[in-house]
Chains A and B, each alone.
Chain A
Amino acid sequence: MKLNTESNVYTIVYVTIVVIIVAFLLAFTYAGLKERSDINEQINKKQQILASLNQRNIAKESVDSIYKSIVKADLIVNQAGEIIKEGKNQDQDGFEIARKDYSKDCLPIYQCEIEGQKKYVLPMVGKGLWGSIWGYISLNEDGKTIYGAYFAHESETAGLGALINEQKFQKQFENQTLIDTDGTILEVVKSGQAGGSPIKCDGITGATLTSNGVNQMIQTYVKFFQAYLDSVKQ
């Protein structure tokens, strides 16, 4: 039997069959792997939040249980300090908000507890030199001193701006004052100019624009969170 592979009918039938096979194959693979990749995405985010609480390098398997034991609630608040959602389930409300949807009316904030001490994790997002940068800063119970910080970036220059992702840069935020009683906010200044001030951190040499981006991001988001932080301080 010899088919005429150039006839119109054959071409149409052939293409249809190929499309159906491909669609099924893809839908099947996607459905099979979706759960796994969603979990990966969540674990990745939880690792970042935990890193800001100085819980770094946790194995993938234990991330979930450690997160559950530390993070007590993922609230959503707004600029006026009002609570929009309570976030009692730890990773269902604030946690579900994607970075791009943060706004002054929708700010996730994580209430945590480490060794009996209350901590707050403030997520933030801004722009670096090439693309987005984001970070999490954790505060002590007093709502002003920094407990730990974590920053990450999409595509900053490796070896320069990309250093914000390294512990060396993040370490210097610890025990600094994020927001003083008179409302001054922590500044990231040119490398070497912080001079031990409790409300300044050194930027990265040769990466002025990325450092400025981090500074800008902190200024913007701390103002957003200010009202809520004031309310918990009392």
Chain B
Amino acid sequence: MVHELSLFLRSIFVDNMIFASFLGMCSYLAVSKNVKTSFGLGIAVTFVLVITVPVNYLLQTEVLSETGIFKQDLTYLAFILFIAVIAGITQLVEMLVERFFPALYSALGIFLPLIAVNCAIMGGSLFMQQRIGLEHESSQYIGSIGDAFIYAFSSGIGWLLAIVLLAAIREKMAYTNVPKPLRGLGITFITVGLMAMAFMCFSGLNL
């Protein structure tokens, strides 16, 4: 239980996808103009992560690794299979959202298909794959499908938190007098940098 809890907290605050590893930056910068859409995208990312990471975990441990069904190290196929799973599942999510939440669908618009190529999703799976190889005492270790699920969920929440925070700041910043060439992209980068610095203080947590 202790391990699960520290994995959970660590993934949200210390190993935050945006601030510690820059995953999913493209859509993070593009969509964070207002809080409502950001929240929607954050939920979508969390949702897709929660499905794809455990599926890819099973794929990695049961099929690709030496102890899997083929008894052979097939890790070199990991990239292709992971991306195929992700593309397939996002397609599915897109259809479901369109069918059941048309309002959200029109708000997210073109961004849903983009989730397939969102680094946060692929990054989640790749980090999961790397963390299977860690020592068991490490709080980053992922050793079961439960861990994979917790990791995916909390990373998604971390991402959601980061994008909503940035969107809130950007909404306020629209009224400030920023030097012209710095407006838009430039100041956003710097803001994210300052936020990342603030998040660095969590690294002192002994998890």
Chain A residues engaging chain B, CB cutoff 8 angstroms: 22-23, 26-27, 29-30, 98-100, 102, 125, 127, 129-132, 209
Contact = CB atoms under 8 A, between A and B. Distances in A.
Contacts of A98: 133
B91 interface: no
A125 B77 CA distance: 30
Interface string B163-199: 0000000000000000000000000000000000000
B134 interface: yes
A100 B140 CA distance: 13
Interface string B84-99: 0000000000000000
B5 to A, nearest CB: 16
B201 to A, nearest CB: 13
Nearest to A125: B135
Contacts of A130: 14, 203
Contacts of A131: 134, 138, 140
Given A26-B76, A30-B76, A99 B135 contact: yes
A132 B134 CA distance: 8
Secondary structure type dominating chain B contacts? loop
Contacts of B76: 26-27, 29-30
Contacts of A129: 203
A100 B133 contact: yes
B134 A22 contact: no
Given A30-B76, A127-B135, 5 more contacts: A98-B133, A100-B133, A100-B134, A127-B137, A127-B139
B80 interface: yes
A100 B135 contact: yes
Contacts of B36: none
Nearest to A129: B203
B206 A102 contact: no
Given A100-B134, A102-B135, A125-B135, A22 B80 contact: yes
Contact of B138 (A22, A23, A26, A127): A127
A98 B138 CA distance: 15
A41 to B, nearest CB: 13
B169 to A, nearest CB: 26
Interface centre among A26, A29, A127, A209, by most chain B C-beta atoms within 10 angstroms, is A127
A29 B80 CA distance: 15
Contacts of A30: 76
B71 interface: no
A218 to B, nearest CB: 15
A129 B140 CA distance: 11
Contacts of B77: 23, 26
Given A26-B76, A26-B77, A30-B76, A132 B206 contact: no
Contacts of B138: 127, 131-132
Contact of B204 (A23, A99, A127, A209): A209
A98 B132 CA distance: 13
Contacts of A209: 204, 206
B136 A100 contact: yes
Contacts of B14: 130
B140 to A, nearest CB: 7
Contacts of A127: 135, 137-139
